[in-house]
Structure 1
Amino acid sequence: MTDKTLDCSDLDRIMGVPIQPARMREPFANTDIRRWVQAMHYPNRIHYDPDFAAESRFGRMVAPQSFPVSMDDAHGTGPSCIGCIPNSHLVFGGDEWWFEGPRVFAGDMLHNHRVPFDYVVKDTKFAGPTCFQRGDNYYYNQDGDLIAKQRSTSIRYRPDLAREMSNLEEDDRTEDPVWADAELMQLEEQKFEWIKMLHDLGHGKRFWDDVNVGDQLPARIIGPHSIASFTTEWRSYLFTLWCGVKRRTDLDIEALGFVGDMAGKEQDPVLELENPEMTDGAYIGPSRGHLFPRYARQIGMPRGYGYGASMGAWILDYLSGWAGEWGEIVHSNCSYRGPAFTGDITVMNGEIVDKMIDDEGRHLVQVKFKMVNQLGVTSATALSEIMLPKK
């Protein structure tokens, strides 16, 4: 009989103990912001068109609220992937964000103070005993201003049990769905409807007074996803570039419990100077499961799959785009139910479920969010509070 235990005993010693902070080498440039929004499929001109941005309330290009995580060396999951769980792998399980008000611009330098928070082990249909581990990220700028707090959830599990329980040999999900040319053209038209919403709002204000409980937010579509689109997303994170960030010296993939093809020396600061090819997560180590179907199947995934941190950015960008430049997400609690696979599309929808004025006098709307694929399978949900201007 297969041993189906998951040893999480090492985690207790590191809860609440800060790990090495994430630090940038050089300040952000406008090109970093452009690269990010293009990779996240977010065509909001205030983030990439300097002429349009100059006429905005900011007077220049501003980064989207999803942007701080791009500076981190682990997509924000660093403090939720700490401690050894033998023979394990990791996927993202969700993020909760609290935004403090300051925004990010070219010239800013961010650092991330990271603290493991807690964990719990549950039995899942995906991989049997599964560890849901959380860690906190505090993103500060060069002036010491807190930009945002992110509580990241990682899902750590045994890939051998995931393979056994998924029965991939008999799974028709190993092949990408096929889209006809007419279907692809229709998707592009549907995508443009959401982009036109951004254009129509422009520099205008979406007033709290003009929206109501029950209002449906416009649908947003991304995809079909591909190895190429996932690779574009991957390269928008600073840590995926050679010497793109100051590397951690306390990161040992094998010591975390990753085994076999998923171990390796991804982000090793010493090997990066000798042979950076061997430290690039697109090709070596646990991250390559996203871009190579053969490695995806080793960890219980049917084919290439997207990044949880990118999924989180899609959610924040969807909400921010609707709110406009005068609005702001103040809190968002996102739960990831399953990844985006190659060949799939992602469809986002939201509904206003509450209107309120908080203790600080801010006028807020609460939005219930859902993300599904073309078959209606849920990949993420969220409940978010957005501040809107008052007439």
Structure 2
Amino acid sequence: MTQTAEPEIGKSLAEGKFTDEMLEKMRALIGTELRTAGSVNNEYATRLAILRFAEGIGDDNPLWTDEAYAAGTAHGELIAPPSFIFACLGSVQVGWPGLGGFHAETNMEFHHPIRVGDKITARVVFDGFDGPIDASKFAGRRIKDYLRQEYRNQNDELVATFICSRMRFERTEMQAKRESRKIELPHPWTDAELARVDADVLAESPRGAEKRYWDDVQVGDDLGIITKGPIGLTDEIAFVASGAAPIPRLAAHGVALRRYKKHPKWAFRDPNTHALEPVYSVHYNDYAASLQGAQMAYDVGIQRTCWQIHHLTNWMGDDGFLKSLHDQYRSHVYLSDVVRLGGKVTEKLVDGDGDHVVKVETWATNQREQSVMPGSAVIRLPYRAEAAAK
């Protein structure tokens, strides 16, 4: 009997092309519920899982890290930051054979806080795609796909919904445009500049128990700034260790090799170390990032959203509730970059649910003054008449 040769794991990422056959196959998958077992990192919001995640995004708000503090709040116990859903299942991807991908946009809705001990289960559905879209300065022709991720707790309550949109592209076209996006990397920081960055990072603090009443907020109010960076390799390792990535879970040695033999497009052999690396290593491996058309390793899309949520929960205090948010990811945030996140109030109203909410515009910029994540959010705040009635 003739044996079929096993597919080879190459020294580069797969280089697929858009074809009519590919597009038809992907259209046929619309509405499919995707398997998630290989990507689940946490099922339970244990104290340590919440702590590990919070530290992995650089957020030491005592509401999620200090049991004694949390017991004295209206919640009565630890809760997780809204972004903790990513530590349960960051995302799953639907397969576009051989195409590269960047997370392009996030839309999220939150319905219930996650409390210590909750069991979170995710369901992921492929909702379709747009395109192919014409070539741009950033990449060649591209597809924008949509995955709907629903997270429920042990009571079958919908905790959050995450619509994840990714751009899919032909890696050869992205690589060809890399020179047109070239910048000086790593960024050449001076000692004085780094001292100012460190001071800005240490200046952030959560509002905490001091209620921010809806009555007192005004349109145009500034939300302040939090600072992340310079982004380093340990920041990316901490994010992986927090459980928020990757897709599927990272593994080592024989466990990883058996997966890669079964799915050779999941990995490549690094020509410098000769080690097998997953596609996800674009976030900590410069060679892998170059194969995606980037100059060096770069951050994770949902990592940026976690920073935005950190900023918003710092501002709103223990008694606020983040109802929804929207983000667009623009430009790479490379290792050595600094990102500053801010926002302002654009509207205050009583919404259709009867909640007293503020709408905010949010932004994130790097040291090159590039907008790397414009967005928006809706936040429910306590109001004085409600507080007086209690």
**Structure 1 residue 301: deviation in Å?**
0.7
Gaps of at least 5 residues in structure 1 are 263-277
**Structure 1 residue 331: deviation in Å?**
1.2
Residues of 2 paired with 1:181 and 1:167: CA distance? Answer: 29
The match for 1:372 is 365
Describe the SS at the equivalent of 1:218: coil
Query: For 2:127, which of 117, 122, 135 is the aligned residue?
Result: 117
Query: For 1:323, which of 292, 316, 322 is the aligned residue?
Result: 316
**Structure 1 residue 180: deviation in Å?**
2.3
Residues of 2 paired with 1:28 and 1:339: CA distance? Answer: 31
Residues of 2 paired with 1:204 and 1:97: CA distance? Answer: 26
The alignment yields a C-alpha RMSD, in angstroms, of 2.7
Preserved CA contact (<8 Å) 2:212 2:381: yes
1:219 equivalenced with 2:209 (yes/no): no
Describe the SS at the equivalent of 1:380: coil
Describe the SS at the equivalent of 2:172: helix
Distance verdict in 2 for CA 1:256–1:347, change over 3 Å: farther
Query: For 1:90, which of 87, 93, 101 is the aligned residue?
Result: 101
Structure 1 residues 155-166: aligned runs within 5 Å: 155-166=167-178
Distance verdict in 2 for CA 1:176–1:25, change over 3 Å: closer
The match for 1:154 is 166
Preserved CA contact (<8 Å) 2:332 2:372: yes
1:130 equivalenced with 2:142 (yes/no): yes
**Structure 1 residue 44: deviation in Å?**
1.0
Distance verdict in 2 for CA 1:288–1:96, change over 3 Å: same
Preserved CA contact (<8 Å) 1:89 1:258: no
**Structure 1 residue 207: deviation in Å?**
0.6
1:43 equivalenced with 2:49 (yes/no): no
Which stretch of structure 1 is more off in the superposition, 17-26 or 375-384? 17-26
**What amino acid maps onto 2:353 in structure 1?**
E
**What amino acid maps onto 2:230 in structure 1?**
P
Describe the SS at the equivalent of 1:322: helix
What is the identity percentage for the equivalent residue pairs of Structure 1 and Structure 2?
A: 21
The number of equivalent residue pairs is 352
For the pair shown, which has the larger CA radius of gyration, 1 or 2?
2
What do the CA deviations read for 1:232-287 (whole angstroms, capped 9, x no partner)? Answer: 111111666778xxx9xxx999979768559xxxxxxxxxxxxxxx9xxxx62110
Describe the SS at the equivalent of 1:360: coil
The match for 1:12 is 27
**What amino acid maps onto 2:83 in structure 1?**
S
**Structure 1 residue 356: deviation in Å?**
1.1
Query: For 2:69, which of 38, 52, 69 is the aligned residue?
Result: 52
Structure 1 residues 1-391: aligned runs within 5 Å: 6-7=18-19, 8-9=22-23, 10-22=25-37, 27-72=44-89, 75-76=90-91, 78=92, 81-83=93-95, 85-101=96-112, 103-121=113-131, 122-123=133-134, 124-167=136-179, 171-173=182-184, 175-195=185-205, 198=206, 201-237=207-243, 260=268, 284-391=277-384
Residues of 2 paired with 1:344 and 1:218: CA distance? Answer: 20
Distance verdict in 2 for CA 1:306–1:139, change over 3 Å: same
Residues of 2 paired with 1:238 and 1:386: CA distance? Answer: 24
Describe the SS at the equivalent of 2:313: helix
What do the CA deviations read for 1:353-390 (whole angstroms, capped 9, x no partner)? Answer: 11111122111110001111011111111111111111
**Structure 1 residue 187: deviation in Å?**
1.4
Residues of 2 paired with 1:157 and 1:96: CA distance? Answer: 21
The match for 1:274 is none
Gaps of at least 5 residues in structure 2 are 1-14, 385-390
Residues of 2 paired with 1:61 and 1:387: CA distance? Answer: 20
